[in-house]
Amino acid sequence: KRYGDMVFDAIMYAKEQLGGGDSPLADFEPEINLAMDKLAVNLGAKLTELVPGRVSTEVDIRLSYDTDASVERARGLIKMYESMGVDRSRVLIKLAGTWEGIQAARILEK
């Protein structure tokens, strides 16, 4: 119950962004992924109100071997934080320690 509003917001955000809601269950994966990212950002944004410094959010581990997808997902997370008024300097994006994850970090640092 404590985080119910954050969960509801994340689900509604994903539905609005992807126009879902009436597709077969197998097609819900993009909505679920986006909702989980939004929930992580909602929690992270709340934490910025409580703690100094950075909050961390991890890119989906299933993208560990996909540089482009990791970069895209990280940029999406930052965009969500910024839309909530959280400056990117307060956010630490965690990437996999794979070769592809390290390449994604290099791209994102630019």
Other residues' Cβ atoms within 10 Å of the Cβ of residue 78? 17
Q: Give the containing element (helix H, strand E) for 22.
A: none
Give the integer Cα–Cα distance in Å for 16 and 57: 22
Longest Cα–Cα distance in the chain? 43
Q: What are phi and psi of 24, to 5 degrees?
A: -60, 155
Q: Which of 1, 15, 94, 110 is catalytic?
A: 94
Tell me, yes or no, if 15 is annotated catalytic: no
Catalytic machinery residues = 94
